Amino acid sequence: MKRIEKTSFRLFHFLPFLCLLLANPACKNSDQPTNNKAFAVPVNISTELPWSERMALSIIKRSPEAWMNDFSKEPSWNYTHGLIMLSILRTWDASKKALYFDYVKSYADTMIYPDGSIRDYQLTEFNIDHVNPGKFLFGLYEETGQENYKTAISTLKHQLDWQPRTKDGGFWHKLRYPWQMWLDGLYMGAPFYAEYAMRNNEPALFDDIALQFTLMEQHARDPKTGLLYHGWDQSRSQRWSDPQTGLSPNFWGRAIGWYSMALVDALDFFPEGHPKRDTLIAVLRRTMEAVEKVQDPGSGMWYQVLDQPGREGNYLESTASCMFTYAMAKGVNNGYLDKHYKEVAEKAFAGILENVIRVDGSGEVHLENCCAVAGLGGNPYRDGSYEYYVSEPIRDNDPKGIAPFILASLELEKAAKSGTY
C-alpha cells in the first residue's frame, strides 16, 4: 500500500461544522457548572456488602468530590472519569442507594454547564477518548430530565458525525493521531454510539457501529493466536507500525480488554434482529477464545503483554484482568458466550481477589498492580515494543482497573442471584 499523503486530510472538510460550532451554545462556556459537592462515607466499610459496593464506597472515600478521581488536581472531562461514573451508576442500578446516583450526578454537574456545554472539552480535537464520559449521561438524563445533559450528549454525537476516518471508514483515534485505529478507541466511542442509536431510534447507525468493530478485527487480528494488536496505522508512517501491515508489534492486555468490554456493552443496544448483531457476537467469541488461551493457569489473571508470560519484566496486570473478567461474565449472562466462560471468569475473579486486592483496616478496598498508562506514538515517543509496555509505571487504584473491577463484580453478583453461575 502507498503511504497516504499527510496533506490528504483537509480542514475545509470541517468548515461547515466549525461554523456551526461557533453558533452552538453547547460548545461555549457560559455560567459556572451547578454543583461541586463532597461526599462522606462511613469510616469503616462493611465486609458484609458485595464487592461492587465495597469498591464503590472505597472510591468515594478516596475521592470525596467526584472530579478528584484519577488522582486529579482539578476537574477534567476525561475518559477515566467516565469509566468510574458509569461503574458507580451501575452500582446504583443494582442497589438503588441514593449515594451512588448523587455522586455520579455531582461529577456531571461539575462538568456540564447549565446551557449544556462541557467544561474542558474541545470537539475539534476529535479525540475519541472524550466521547466515553457521555455514556453515563444517558442514565442521568433518563432519571432527571435535565436538558443540559441531553445537549451535552448531542455535542458528543456531533463529534462522531465529523470524526475523521480511515479510507475504509474507521474512526481515527484522535486528530493528532491521523489514520490510526486503536483497540482502545472502540470502547471510547462504540457503546456511546450504540446507545445513542437505540435511544434516538436511528437504526441505520448500527451498520456503522458494527463496521468499526469488524474493521478493527480485520486489520488487527493475528491469524496464528487470534489476539489483536494494539494499533493499526493505515498510512504506515509511524515508527511503531509494520511497513507491510501497519500494525503495532505486541499484544497489550488492556488494549484487548477495552475491545472486549466495548463488544459486550455495544451489544446491549443492538436490535435482536439486526443482521450485524450475530457478526459482533462471533467477533466476541473469537476474541474470548484467544484470551482464554493466554490466561495464567496458576493465578487466573493475565499478563501485561499477553503472550510472553515468562519474559523478564512481564507481570500479572490488574486492569486487563478485571476487563476480561467483566467481558466474560457479562457475555455469559447475556447469552453471547458459552457457559464454559463462567468458570474462566470465576477463576479470574478469585485470582484478582487473592493476588491484587488489598483490604485495609477500615475496610477500604485497594487494587494493586495496575499499569498506569500506555499508548503509541506521541512525545516522548512510544514505540509499542515489549520493553516499552513493561516499563510504564505501575500503581494502585488506577481507575482503569477499579471501575472494571466493579463492573465484573456486578455481573458475577447478578449471575449469583439469578442462578446463572
pLDDT tier for residue 11 given thresholds of 50, 70 and 90: very low
E-only strand ranges, 194-245: 231-233
Task: Give the model confidence (pLDDT) of 63-87 as tens digits.
Answer: 999 999 999 999 999 999 999 999 9
Q: 16 φ, ψ to 5°?
A: -60, -40
pLDDT category of residue 204 using cuts at 50, 70 and 90: very high
Calpha distance 220→253 (Å, rounded): 14
Residues labelled catalytic: 184
pLDDT value, residue 190: 99
**Pairing of β 231-233 and β 180-182:** antiparallel
Q: How many CB atoms lie within 10 A of CB 11?
A: 8
Mean pLDDT of 89-118: 98
Residue 39 pLDDT: 86
- The reply to whether omega before 380 is within 30° of 0 (cis) is yes
Specify the higher pLDDT residue, 32 or 129: 129
Q: Is-contact 389 372, C-beta < 8 A?
A: no
The reported pLDDT for the residue numbered 421 is 52
Cα–Cα distance list, 157 to 50, 79, 125, 154, 162 (Å): 35, 15, 14, 5, 9
Contact 164, 175 (CB under 8 A): yes
End-to-end CA distance of the chain: 49
Whether 4 has a pLDDT exceeding 70, the answer reads no
Q: Which residue has the higher pLDDT, 64 or 39?
A: 64
Residue-wise pLDDT tens digits, 269-280: 999 999 999 999
pLDDT digits (tens, 9 = 90+) for 221-238: 999 999 999 999 999 999
Mean pLDDT of 80-98: 98
Report the distance separating Cα 94 and Cα 78, nearest Å: 25
| pLDDT tops 70 at residue 21 | no
| Nearest of 170, 184, 129 to residue 375 by alpha carbon | 184
pLDDT at 38: 81
Residue 394 three-state SS: strand
Q: What pLDDT is recorded for position 284?
A: 99
Cβ(215)–Cβ(196) under 8 Å? Answer: no
Confidence band of 33 (pLDDT split at 50, 70, 90): low
All three cell numbers of 102, joined, read 448523587
Q: 419 pLDDT band (50/70/90 cuts)?
A: confident
| Residue of higher predicted confidence among 34 and 299 | 299
User: Do residues 47 and 91 make contact, with C-beta atoms less than 8 angstroms apart?
Assistant: no
Q: Is 393 exposed, middle or buried (0-12, 13-18, 19+ CB in 10 A)?
A: exposed
Q: Which of 25-39, 56-70, 290-304 has the lowest mean pLDDT?
A: 25-39
Domains of the chain and CATH, by start: 32-39+47-163 (no CATH), 166-182+197-421 (1.50.10.10)
CA distance 295 to 23: 52
Q: Is the pLDDT of residue 17 over 70?
A: no
Task: Give the pLDDT confidence score for residue 42 in this predicted structure.
Answer: 73
Q: Give tens-digit pLDDT for 324-342.
A: 999 999 999 999 999 999 9
Question: 141-161: per-residue pLDDT in tens?
Answer: 999 999 999 999 999 999 999
Task: Provide mean pLDDT across the span 33-39.
Answer: 70
Residues 6+ apart with CB under 8 A from 269: 191, 194, 195, 197, 198
Residue 180: which of 246, 119, 224 has the closest Cα?
A: 246
Residue given cell 492486555 in the structure block? 253
